[in-house]
Amino acid sequence: THLEEEVKRQTETLESTNEEIVAMNEELESSYLRVSYLSDRLQTVLEIVLNIKVKQDVDEFLQYVLDRTVGIIDDAQKGSVMLKEKEGNFIFRASHGFDMAILDKIKIKEKDMYEYKGVEKLSHIVDVTRTRFPSYAQKDEFVREAEKIKATLAAPLKIGNEYVGAIFIDNLESEEAFKEEDEQLLEAVSNFVSFFLNYKEVLSDLIDLYRSRGILMEFAREGLLKTRKEDILEAAYRKIKEAYGKNFSVLSWITSIDRDEQTFDVISKLEDGKTERKRFPINTTITGRAIREGKTIFVNDVSSDPDYVELSPESKAEGVVPLKYGENIYTIAALELKQPFSIEDRRFFEEFSYTLSLLLRNCDLMNDIKKSYLQTMIALSRAIEIKDPYTRGHSERVARYAMEIGKALGMKEEDLENIRYAGLLHDIGKIGVAGRILNKNGKLTEEEYAEVKRHPVLSEEIIKDIEYLKKVRKSIRHHHERYDGRGYPDGLGGNEIPVESRILAIADAFDAMTSTRPYRDAMSVEKAVSILKSGAGKQWDPNIIDKAIEAILKSYPMFFNADKDQDTV
């Protein structure tokens, strides 16, 4: 009947609706389970994030995150993380469930590495490996490990827009392993790992920048105090080694370029401190190319450069920077590293080389100034000789003897230079003493002797406003003091007298005794030495007299006999 048909239709509708409701409930339950699964695990990911310490070592961090990720993905049984090394190879940095000794043998070149664009699910990764990395698929141990894997989730790791690695989660039982939620989880994990790597990269760059600037400032400060190019270059070697650490291989610099012979001379300092000196034709070596082209060259694979000449088998990259003054090449610095130059490596070496060129140029200018000073000093010392011709060459000989004594006593280069200047100028105050007194052929009166005794003070007065001679003023003033305190002008005794003055006193006395004077002939060397020894502890320092005499006697024949025609010390 009509009623029965209506009841039947309504019943079918209700049954259909009920089926839809059941299906919706099942879908809602499934969605709830998925959301609950994802929510619980994202909560765990959040806990991982909150527990990370920014100072944590990268390998320690990767291992921790990998272990926790394998723990929160139901189908995960093993896992690994690959990262790109500085030189460009991709290597395994963390492993869960695999033998790390096997993974350590795997290095994939950057050009061979597959770049994952997002999370990818892979079946039988050993087949993928054979396709993508045929050379590594031949490694038996690696293949045996990879053959056990049925399913893999892979997610990319990036620093900025640069692909720097991947995280892999593996299942050994089923190709159907891993849910969509697992892919979402791994995406969240890979994003966080990428964030951490970005942070560490920025932090590392800032630390490197701060450190490199510090090294550069230290080098500039140290180099400005150097008066010899050899010392500046030695400081450059130390600072470059400090800056590049274990990556350093060789530092070289050109000492001369012969455009006529088309050759150049180079000094190289190796990692172990060994020094090598060589000559090369300009048409050879990467450095020669830099001379020819007059520009900076960086080669990150020296094995592929036909101009490269090996200085160390460990060198993999070379940078050559011409150091210019104006348009002319002043010298050239070349650095070899064990790994390719990064952008920061290149930038630092170029800045370092520029600083080196300024320091070397400054050294030349300083030496020019010193040479000018020295010539002036010699002229001043000879001006005295016009008034007192018997003392011709005396100041220059005293300067030489004093330097030899200083060397015997182990004095520093700077101190030796100062005592040289003091020797040249110790009697300059005699310009203010009347010539008739200086050339008197007989004993001086008390008044005349008092006039002569003024010359150390006059010498100091003459040079007091010359900043460059600040350190030699006291040496000159006190060179007539006696060890027993009975000298002049201030009656100082013992160690109150500057050591440079004590040295000058011995050198001055020896040359005076062995030279002809208006009032007497020159003494023999033997007699002069005897007087020096007998005066030890009275007129001269007994602690240095023996070494001083030994140094003088070694140099006496050369200096005394050859000095009359010498124009420089």
CATH class of the structural domain 225-361 = alpha beta
Nearest to 200 by CA among 52, 343, 57, 46: 57
For the domain bounded by 388-565, which CATH number is listed?
A: 1.10.3210.10
- Which stretch of 115-119, 167-171, 519-523 has the lowest confidence by average pLDDT? 519-523
| Mean pLDDT to the nearest integer, 459-471 | 84
User: 171 φ, ψ to 5°?
Assistant: -125, 140
Which strand (E) or helix (H) includes residue 78?
strand 78-84
- pLDDT, residue 567, reads 39
Phi-psi region of 124 (alpha: psi -120 to 50; beta: other; left: phi over 0): left
- pLDDT, residue 504, reads 97
Label the pairing between strands 107-108 and 90-96.
antiparallel
Q: Which neighbouring-strand residues pair with 268? A: 252, 276
Instruction: Categorize the per-residue pLDDT at 560 as very low, low, confident or very high, splitting at 50, 70 and 90.
Output: very low
- pLDDT per position as a tens digit, 252-308: 998 888 888 999 999 999 999 999 999 999 999 999 999 999 899 999 999 999 999
The token duo for 535 is 């005066």
User: 349 φ, ψ to 5°?
Assistant: -65, -35
Instruction: Categorize the per-residue pLDDT at 41 as very low, low, confident or very high, splitting at 50, 70 and 90.
Output: low
C-alpha 344/C-alpha 429 separation (Å) is 58
- Please calculate the CA angle 542-544-550 and round it to the nearest 5 degrees: 115
CATH domain 52-203 topology: Beta-Lactamase (3.30.450)
- pLDDT, residue 562, reads 43
Query: Percent helix, strand and coil across the chain, each rounded to 5?
Result: 60, 15, 25
Query: Does the pLDDT of residue 60 top 70, yes or no?
Result: yes
- pLDDT, residue 188, reads 82
* Percentage above 70 pLDDT, the chain: 81
| Mean pLDDT to the nearest integer, 134-161 | 77
Query: Does the pLDDT of residue 198 top 50, yes or no?
Result: yes
Instruction: Categorize the per-residue pLDDT at 136 as very low, low, confident or very high, splitting at 50, 70 and 90.
Output: low
User: Highest mean pLDDT range out of 25-34, 296-305, 438-447?
Assistant: 296-305
Q: Bigger pLDDT: 25 or 477?
A: 477
Query: Does the pLDDT of residue 30 top 60, yes or no?
Result: no
Query: Does the pLDDT of residue 24 top 70, yes or no?
Result: no
Instruction: Categorize the per-residue pLDDT at 43 as very low, low, confident or very high, splitting at 50, 70 and 90.
Output: low
User: Is residue 302 a contact partner of residue 285, using CB atoms and an 8 Å limit?
Assistant: no
- pLDDT, residue 196, reads 80
Same fold, 225-361 and 388-565: no
Query: Does the pLDDT of residue 17 top 90, yes or no?
Result: no
| Mean pLDDT to the nearest integer, 317-342 | 86
Q: CA separation (Å) from 300 to 248, 315, 318, 338?
A: 14, 10, 7, 10
- pLDDT, residue 539, reads 96
**How do the domains of the chain map onto residue ranges?**
1-36, 52-203, 225-361, 388-565
| Mean pLDDT to the nearest integer, 543-567 | 72
Query: Does the pLDDT of residue 72 top 90, yes or no?
Result: no
C-alpha 353/C-alpha 160 separation (Å) is 30
Instruction: Categorize the per-residue pLDDT at 561 as very low, low, confident or very high, splitting at 50, 70 and 90.
Output: very low
- pLDDT, residue 344, reads 82
User: Highest mean pLDDT range out of 56-65, 125-134, 242-251, 537-546?
Assistant: 537-546
Instruction: Categorize the per-residue pLDDT at 544 as very low, low, confident or very high, splitting at 50, 70 and 90.
Output: very high
Query: Does the pLDDT of residue 251 top 80, yes or no?
Result: yes
Q: Bigger pLDDT: 23 or 304?
A: 304
C-alpha 128/C-alpha 58 separation (Å) is 28
Query: Does the pLDDT of residue 381 top 70, yes or no?
Result: no
Query: Does the pLDDT of residue 369 top 80, yes or no?
Result: no
Rg (CA), the chain: 41
Q: Among the residues of 73-117, which ranges form H helices?
A: 100-103
84-117 burial string, b = 16+ CB within 10 Å, else e?
A: beebebbebbbbbebeeebbeebebeeeebeebe
| Mean pLDDT to the nearest integer, 542-561 | 82
Q: Which neighbouring-strand residues pair with 335? A: 251, 319
Query: Does the pLDDT of residue 29 top 60, yes or no?
Result: no
User: Highest mean pLDDT range out of 137-146, 358-367, 418-427, 530-539?
Assistant: 530-539
Nearest to 274 by CA among 297, 310, 249: 249
Instruction: Specify the length of the chain in residues.
Output: 569
297-316 burial string, b = 16+ CB within 10 Å, else e?
A: bbbbebeebebbeebbebbb
Q: Among the residues of 225-342, which ranges form H helices?
A: 229-244, 285-293
Nearest to 370 by CA among 298, 424, 305, 331: 424
CA dihedral 124, 127, 133, 136 (to 10 degrees): 90
Nearest to 193 by CA among 167, 160, 219: 167
Query: Does the pLDDT of residue 249 top 90, yes or no?
Result: yes
Instruction: Categorize the per-residue pLDDT at 474 as very low, low, confident or very high, splitting at 50, 70 and 90.
Output: very high
* Percentage above 90 pLDDT, the chain: 37
Question: What is the average pLDDT score of the chain?
Answer: 83
- DSSP 8-class letter at 20: H
- pLDDT, residue 85, reads 85
Q: Bigger pLDDT: 251 or 344?
A: 251
The token duo for 6 is 């209506």
Query: Does the pLDDT of residue 34 top 70, yes or no?
Result: no
Which residues lie closer than 8 Å to 88 by C-beta, 6 or more apart? Answer: 109, 110, 340
Instruction: Categorize the per-residue pLDDT at 28 as very low, low, confident or very high, splitting at 50, 70 and 90.
Output: low
- pLDDT, residue 96, reads 94
Query: Does the pLDDT of residue 326 top 80, yes or no?
Result: no
Instruction: Categorize the per-residue pLDDT at 564 as very low, low, confident or very high, splitting at 50, 70 and 90.
Output: very low
Query: Does the pLDDT of residue 81 top 90, yes or no?
Result: yes
| Mean pLDDT to the nearest integer, 132-153 | 72
Query: Does the pLDDT of residue 138 top 80, yes or no?
Result: no
- pLDDT per position as a tens digit, 511-523: 989 987 766 788 9
| Mean pLDDT to the nearest integer, 199-225 | 70
- The one-letter amino acid code at 510 reads F
